[in-house]
Amino acid sequence: MSLRATARIVADADGGLPVLVSDGPLALRRTRAAGPYTRVTVVGAMSAPLGGDRLAIETEVRDGALLLVDSAAATLALPGRSAEPAAYDVRITVGAEGVLRWLPEQLVSVHGSDLRMRTVVELAPTARLVLREEQILGRHGEPPGTLITRLTVRRAGSPLLDQELAFGPGAPGGWDGGAVLGGHRATGQLLLVDPEFAEKPVEARLLGENAAVTPLAGPAALVTAVAPDALAVRRLLDTALSRLAPVRPF
């Protein structure tokens, strides 16, 4: 039987979490954070997502709130009894002067799995965001499943980024070729949005051979990286964050 579950987070400016609702495999825990952030860790309570599952996390960062969301372990997209693809939706809103650091662990596309992941973010004009996504295509020594991810970000109601990635069986031809992954099995994206970038735009540049920084048409920058494995892609994104993030808390 397929699973339906929606977890919810609401963060206030005073550090409170008026809503922290776990559901099914998505267990939410308030954990200790360094600095000014309220921290929530997503803990997997069971194996998911499996084929046919419908999972979602809804997060609201209210005006002036500072929230860090991470996860206790990687998420494994697994094959299930249902032939239908699994779906995992992340829906985020960040209010005026709010700050969100969305830093989950990697998503692993296990051989035989089929997952559609959609992340939709709505930002106020003065909101700030750090969002990291990492995809690992197959466990060690195995080919990947089918993975389609889409990241849509709007700021002040206007489009900032709308990007779709597709990997594995059924994905458009060439996804594993030199123009996309070049044989690598780990890829990642790091999105930074900060009103200060409007006055000091980020410059487009390479970060070594396997990562690039791209300024967006707005106060934002997107880092994309490919690497042989999860550790290497994390190092690339961590290096990019340390170079791009302002000195003040981000």
pLDDT of residue 132: 98
**174 vs 86, residue with greater confidence:** 86
pLDDT class of 209 with cuts at 50, 70, 90: confident
- pLDDT-based confidence at residue 1 (cuts at 50, 70, 90): low
pLDDT above 50: residue 247: no
Q: Is the pLDDT of residue 2 over 90?
A: no
Q: At 197, give phi and psi (nearest 5°).
A: -65, -15
pLDDT the model gives residue 45 = 65
DSSP string covering 149-193, please? EEEEEEETTEEEEEEEEEESTTSPTTTTSTTTTTT-SEEEEEEEE
pLDDT attached to residue 151: 98
Q: What is the DSSP track for 87-111?
A: EEEEEEEE-TT-EEEEE---EEE-T
Among 81-85, 100-104, 155-159, 175-179, whose mean pLDDT is lowest? 175-179
For residue 89, the cross-strand partners are 56, 118
| Residue showing tokens 């969305």 | 102
Cβ neighbours, 10 Å, residue 29: 12
Q: Give 172's pLDDT tier (boundaries 50, 70, 90).
A: confident
Residue 40 scores a pLDDT above 50: yes
pLDDT digits (tens, 9 = 90+) for 6-24: 999 999 999 999 999 999 9
- Write the pLDDT tens digit of every residue in 56-99: 999 999 999 999 999 999 999 999 877 899 999 999 999 999 99
Q: Which residue has the higher pLDDT, 119 or 179?
A: 119
Amino acid at 228: P
What is the pLDDT confidence band of residue 250, given thresholds at 50, 70 and 90? Answer: low
The 8 Å CB, 24+ separation contacts for 247-250 are 249/35, 249/36, 249/37, 249/66, 249/99, 250/99, 250/101, 250/128, 250/130, 250/192, 250/194
Write the pLDDT tens digit of every residue in 137-150: 999 889 999 999 99
Say whether pLDDT at 46 is over 80.
no
Q: Could you tell me the pTM of the whole model?
A: 0.94
Answer with the residue of higher pLDDT: 34 or 14.
14
Say which DSSP state 13 is in: T
Domain boundaries, the chain: 4-244
